[in-house]
Amino acid sequence: MFKTISIALAGAALLATGSVAALERDTRTTGVTYRDLDLATEEGRNELNRRIDSAAKQVCGMNERQTGSHIVPRDARECYRNAKRDLQSHFARVLADGARAG
C-alpha cells in the first residue's frame, strides 16, 4: 500500500490555453503522507483531510497573492476544488481497499 500519494495538476489547463507545451510547463506536484496516521480512527481521518486540504492549496497556489490584491483567482479556486475532490476520491478507494484487505 502506498504511504505517500503524489498529485500533479496542470495549472495552464485552468487558464484554458489549450496548449500542450503550456500544460507541461505549468505542472505542479506535491505529496500527501499518511504513514503516521491511523485511518481507522476519526482523528486520523480528520488529519488526513487537513493534509489533503493543505496539499491542494499548495499545488493550486491558493496562498500565493498578487501584489495589491487579496482575492484568490478563480482558476486557483477551481483547481483547489478539483484537487480536493480527486484526492478525497483516491483516499476513499485506499480506505475501502484497506477495509477489504483486513
| For the chain, domain boundaries | 4-101
Give pLDDT tens digits for 32-70: 888 899 988 999 989 999 999 999 998 888 877 767 777
The C-alpha angle 97, 29, 16, rounded to 5 degrees, equals 105
Average pLDDT over residues 74-81: 89
Q: What is the per-residue DSSP string for 62-86?
A: TT---TT--PPPHHHHHHHHHHHHH
How far is C-alpha 54 from the geometric centre of its chain's CA atoms? 8
The fraction of the chain above a pLDDT of 90, given in percent, is 17
CB neighbours (10 Å) of residue 65?
A: 12
Q: Would the pTM of this model clear 0.85, i.e. be above it?
A: no
* pLDDT exceeds 50 at position 15: no
Phi then psi for 4, rounded to 5 degrees? -135, 130
